[in-house]
Structure formats: C-alpha cells, structure tokens
Amino acid sequence: MYVKVQDKKYWVEDFGGEGIPLLFLHGFTGSGDTFDESISLFTEDWRMIKLDMPGHRKTGEIGSISMEQFCDDLALILNELNVPKVCLIGYSMGGRAALSFTFLYPELVEKLVLESSSPGLSVTEEQMARQAKDQTLIDMLHKDGLKSFVNLWENLPLFHTQKSLPEEVQDRVRTERLSHTAAGLAQSLAGMGTGRQPSWWDKLPELSVDVLLITGCEDEKFLRINEEMEKLTLKVRVYKIREAGHAVHVEKPEIFAEIVEEFMLQ
C-alpha cells in the first residue's frame, strides 16, 4: 500500500502478527523484497514492515531526499501505521538510515540491527571525495541508463561473493536491481549517499538501545568498520558470518534470520 507523507508517497507493506514490529530497510539498488527469504524463516509470528526507500522501485522518484528528511518521513509513516515503537533492521544504506533514525527519534526505537552498515564518514575531506565519486555514478545513470549502471554495480569487488550464489538467486538480485529507474537511483545517491549524511561516529557512545552488528567475514571493509563501531557502542553484540560477503541476508538467509530473531527475543 502507499502511505502519503506530505507531498510524497512511500510504498509500505505491513503484515504478520502482533507485538513490537520489525521494520526492514534495504540497501541501495534493493527493495523491501530483498529480505523476503529471511523473513519467511522467522519462527515467531512477528509483525513485519517493509518499505521501498526513496528512489527505489514502487516508491520511486520522489526527489533527492536527504537522510534527515527520510527519517522525518519515516516517523510520520510509523504514526500513520499506529506504531509507537519499532525494532529496526537495516542493510547497508538502510543501516545508515536505521542508525540515523535511532539518533533522531530514539523514543521510537526498541532495538537496532545493522547489517554491513556504517555511521557515515567522519572527515570532511572523505565526505567531499565520496560526494564526487557518487556524482560520477549519478552522471553515468543519466548518460548511460539503468542497465549499464547495474552491469557496473553488480561487478564491484564489494559483491564478489555473490558470484558463487545459485544462478536463480543471482537472477533474482539482478532483477531487483533492474526494477528501478535511472533517475530514481540518481536521486537516492544525491540525497542519501554516504558522503551526504551526517557522521554519527562521535555519537555512538550515546546509543541507549541494544545493537546487533552483522557482517560477512569476506567483507573486509565493513569488518573493519564494525570493529571500530563495537569499541564505541555500549550495548552491542557482533556476529561475523563465515563464507559471506556484504549481503549476509541474501547469501546466508537462514543464519541471518536465526541470529536476528534470537536478538529480538532477548
């Protein structure tokens, strides 16, 4: 269903049981459906909420929404759904959004799961360099179109472990990436790219919620990031998943569902 927020509409799916809901936020080029296999493996009858992030799939082209604007919109969406408090599960870009939301709306968050995520970039020079890199991708999207961009994106070293997944899984991931528009993904990068969002590194010691960090052992970059996050976060548990890369929920859905559900039941 579409949930209207001021002059924008977000695609939201709300299903399952009762109790504190689990809200899933996907990564760049993904959609709410990216978590479907893991969700199907949960044993408890949780209330599940998925949405398509700005610029993605059914939410689509709603402008270059900043991280802070998205968090404001998400608070309004939860109000429309009569959700007083939520457990957030965010992957990559969705993890950055989940962490941002937790800092901006702490009263709405019960627990926080961050899969292959970061608190942003702490140095201005790094932020500017990332903005320039993302602008190159934005230009490519406008010039060469969606398919050329997806061909580039799926061959990034970050996703090298996905090459060993069953062909039907690879096809599903590619189809999902191709379900967007070039303009929508360009808007996402312009608004919610890593170089655009606030840095939360200095705020990590102030997190009061229970936090679960998940990374794949083959994802060296985010292993390092999560090791630094673990040092700064008070109430934190860390899982490093063997034989998995950046998208643990895609590569090891059974393990992902098991550790997330265990964390939620504590």
In CATH, what number is assigned to the domain containing residue 206?
3.40.50.1820
Cα distance between residue 29 and residue 216, in whole Å: 19
Residues 6+ apart with CB under 8 A from 39: 24, 48, 257
- Over the stretch 61-83, which tens digit does the pLDDT of each residue have? 999 999 999 999 999 999 999 99
Cα distance between residue 180 and residue 53, in whole Å: 11
pLDDT more than 70, % of the chain: 100
Q: Which helix (H) or strand (E) holds 183?
A: helix 182-192
pTM of the complete model:
0.97
- Over the stretch 154-206, which tens digit does the pLDDT of each residue have? 999 999 999 999 999 999 999 999 999 999 999 999 999 999 999 999 999 99
- Over the stretch 88-101, which tens digit does the pLDDT of each residue have? 999 999 999 999 99
Cα distance between residue 41 and residue 249, in whole Å: 11
Write out the residue range of the structural domain in which residue 233 sits.
2-265
Total structural domains in the chain?
1
Of 206, 254, 229, the residue nearest 95 (C-alpha): 229
Confidence (pLDDT) at 44 = 87
Of 45, 46, 87, 53, the residue nearest 69 (C-alpha): 53
